[in-house]
Amino acid sequence: MIVVRTVEELKSQISLWKKEGNSVGFVPTMGYLHEGHISLVERSKKQTDKTVLSLFVNPTQFNDPEDYLKYPVNIDGDLEKCKTASVDLVFLPSKEVMYPKTESTITMTQSLLQTNLCGRTRPGHFEGVMLVVSKFFHLVEPNFAFFGLKDYQQFRIIEEMVSLLNFPLQVIGVETLREPDGLAMSSRNVRLSEKERETAKLIPRMYSLAEKLLKDGEKNLSNFKEILRDFLLTGQDVKIDYLETVDPGNLQEKLALEGKILLAVAVFVGKTRLIDNRIFTLPIS
Ligand code: PAF
């Protein structure tokens, strides 16, 4: 496995591989890798000749500086996991390599898909994600890029950015990997205390409740959301950042419980913010 830290080393290896006729798959990550990330690598390995993974905690996408400083880091552990998963190249840039000019920058916005969900409650977040991902796309020049569907809004925004800006690559969304009790795998889960981890189970249980309500024929959208909110709030130290029902295509609020619905939540359990989502196609039989 090759590990590079500079743009020059990265670009020279990629151009060598391209000259040899290899296709390149790219898995961008912020590290503290778990099985969910590894499933992106496995998908890339199935579909491409060479897999590149980036490890970079991107400062520009954190709207809360404390969240950035507390983001878990374990580079040695991550490199070990990458080696075991047969990643071909790890790009491990410093902040200075990614953002050498602090006095001058550029802001990217996607006007439609950013208005709700995390775009509304984490101002500036997707601007930072689009900036860093587009920089990575220019540097890695992948044929395919793999993103987890847990961050569904991120996936849709990147998909749209690639289409609007004509990046010559295909964005692939990969299903969320879950713990045995249904909690979505996330690098943030490690921050939960034992008690908070118990409380976090309310999120997958809320999705089971949502499915039951829809199967039982619930038609009233505000009732539906209120029941789910009340259910989450039975947990100790739970604060709901948002619980929304949106169209999975344009991420705009649904006005009725019909057709395809993305039920998306962001919940603070103690100080840890967890997100999850699921698409329901109505009616459910
Ligand atoms: O999903 C993430 O981990 C990050 O938002 C990404 C795509 C690696 C950009 O920093």
Tell the residue nearest (CA) to atom 2 of ligand 1.
Answer: 29
Which of 174, 203, 229 finishes a domain? Answer: 174
Residue 139 and residue 215 share a domain: no
Residue 69 and residue 155 share a domain: yes
Residue 149 and residue 43 share a domain: yes
Of 202, 198, 210, 273, nearest in space to 241 by CA: 273
Which of 147, 174, 201 finishes a domain? Answer: 174
In ligand 1, the atom with minimum distance to the C-alpha of 29 is 8
26, 133 Cβ separation under 8 angstroms: no
Residue-range definition of the domain harbouring residue 218: 187-280
Q: Is 37 annotated in the active site?
A: yes
List the CATH number of the domain containing 212. 3.30.1300.10
Q: Quick check: pTM over 0.85?
A: yes
Q: How many domains does the chain have?
A: 2
**CB atoms < 10 A from the CB of 64, how many?**
11
Residue 149 and residue 49 share a domain: yes
pLDDT at 221: 98
Q: CA-to-CA distance for 72 and 64, rounded, in angstroms?
A: 15
Tokens at residue 8, please?
């020059």
Please check whether residue 180 lies inside any domain of the structure: no
pLDDT at 159: 98
Residue 245 and residue 136 share a domain: no
pLDDT digits (tens, 9 = 90+) for 72-120: 999 999 999 999 999 999 999 999 999 999 888 899 998 899 999 999 9
- Would you say the CB of residue 151 lies under 6 angstroms from ligand 1? yes
Of 131, 134, 115, 135, nearest in space to 123 by CA: 115
Please check whether residue 181 lies inside any domain of the structure: no
Residue 220 and residue 125 share a domain: no
**CB atoms < 10 A from the CB of 25, how many?**
28
Residue 243 and residue 159 share a domain: no
Residue 69, classified by CB atoms within 10 Å of its CB into exposed (0-12), middle (13-18) or buried (19+), is exposed
Which of 151, 174, 197 finishes a domain? Answer: 174
Please check whether residue 179 lies inside any domain of the structure: no
List the CATH number of the domain containing 80. 3.40.50.620
Residue 18 and residue 141 share a domain: yes
Q: CA-to-CA distance for 285 and 282, rounded, in angstroms?
A: 8
- Would you say the CB of residue 128 lies under 6 angstroms from ligand 1? no
Please check whether residue 123 lies inside any domain of the structure: yes
Q: CA-to-CA distance for 117 and 276, rounded, in angstroms?
A: 11
- Would you say the CB of residue 132 lies under 6 angstroms from ligand 1? yes
Of 130, 165, 128, 119, nearest in space to 264 by CA: 119
Q: CA-to-CA distance for 69 and 71, rounded, in angstroms?
A: 6
| pLDDT of 285 higher than 90 | no
Residue 116 and residue 91 share a domain: yes
pLDDT digits (tens, 9 = 90+) for 163-192: 999 999 999 999 999 999 999 999 999 999
246, 253 Cβ separation under 8 angstroms: yes
Please check whether residue 9 lies inside any domain of the structure: yes
Tell the residue nearest (CA) to atom 9 of ligand 1.
Answer: 129
Residue 236 and residue 159 share a domain: no
| pLDDT of 256 higher than 90 | yes
